Amino acid sequence: MAKDPEVAEAGSFSAKDYQDPPPAPLFDADELTKWSFYRALIAEFIATLLFLYITVLTVIGYKSQIDGNSDPCGGVGILGIAWAFGGMIFVLVYCTAGISGGHINPAVTFGLFLARKVSLIRAVMYMVAQCLGAICGVGLVKAFQKSLYTRYNGGANVLADGYSTGTGLGAEIIGTFVLVYTVFSATDPKRSARDSHVPVLAPLPIGFAVFMVHLATIPITGTGINPARSFGAAVIYNNAKAWDDQWIFWVGPFIGAAIAAFYHQFILRAGAVKALGSFRSNPAN
């Protein structure tokens, strides 16, 4: 999530409180010379590692609890799995928002890049750190729970039987749209200025968005909406079905993120109208 600029003290607003921060440069080589940049990469790596470790363990633990158990309410259930994903995103975004922006998801990073919230260099390096963190997180799960990991498919995302490729792709597009749209709304500088008297935590609605999307799409795709999550599980599990379906968990989230970025920046925030107005207000030299 892009870090919002500080706003005025509660109850005291000025015109600058409602202004958007300047767009990030497309290429910013100076970032490579700053410790804060590498600190952010470390934060994204560790956060994604922890995210995959906890959530994949939850998935495998649930499957082991219901294996051979006739109790339909045995284990944490889909509700518990959804809470694990949403709750971890809430915790990790809260912890890393002030360091890296708390993306923990290549689709979120891609959406923020399209909205010019981060530079191309930062976006690419974030995605690399997130994918490496995801691989390491799932690797830890396999190291600690090897027998259960192998028996219960390693928590890998695959298209469920009975669903078409189009249905799976659509679920990933819409699910990621919900998440990235929530990210933009929760971190909107104008919202921060208007609601500065209310102790609103941006990670809370973001975590709830992840929770709700999981409830809806776990039966279809296992819920990706995070290419790093799907990629890390596929690399460690290394199953043909997981690799065959892998493209769904990249194409779908990236399309959903792009639509969310366009919708928020150019429709809700009228970015295209503002740009046109700015162009018309500047007479030709």
Q: pLDDT tens digit string along 98-146? A: 999 999 999 999 999 999 999 999 999 999 999 999 999 999 999 998 8
pLDDT of res. 93? 95
Can you tell me the distance from the alpha carbon of 87 to that of 207, in angstroms, rounded to the nearest whole number? Answer: 6
pLDDT of res. 243? 95
Can you tell me the distance from the alpha carbon of 172 to that of 165, in angstroms, rounded to the nearest whole number? Answer: 11
pLDDT of res. 26? 81
CA-CA distances (angstroms) from residue 99 to 95, 125, 157, 178, 230? 8, 15, 29, 24, 24
Residues of the chain where predicted confidence (pLDDT) is lower than 50:
2-17, 197-199, 272, 275-276, 278-279, 281, 284-285
What's at 131, amino acid-wise?
C
Closest by Cα among 162, 156, 126 to 47 = 126
pLDDT of res. 11? 35
pLDDT of res. 70? 58
Q: Where are the alpha helices (DSSP H) in the chain?
A: 35-66, 77-96, 106-114, 120-144, 146-151, 165-186, 189-194, 203-221, 227-237, 240-244, 248-262, 271-281
What is the CATH number that goes with domain 34-65+74-268? Answer: 1.20.1080.10
pLDDT of res. 135? 97
Rg (Cα) of the chain, in Å, rounded?
20
Can you tell me the distance from the alpha carbon of 55 to that of 230, in angstroms, rounded to the nearest whole number? Answer: 12
pLDDT of res. 191? 66
pLDDT of res. 160? 94
Coil, strand or helix: which one is 222?
coil
Q: Where are the domains of the chain?
A: 34-65+74-268
pLDDT of res. 195? 55
pLDDT of res. 20? 67
What's at 250, amino acid-wise?
W
Can you tell me the distance from the alpha carbon of 143 to that of 151, in angstroms, rounded to the nearest whole number? Answer: 14
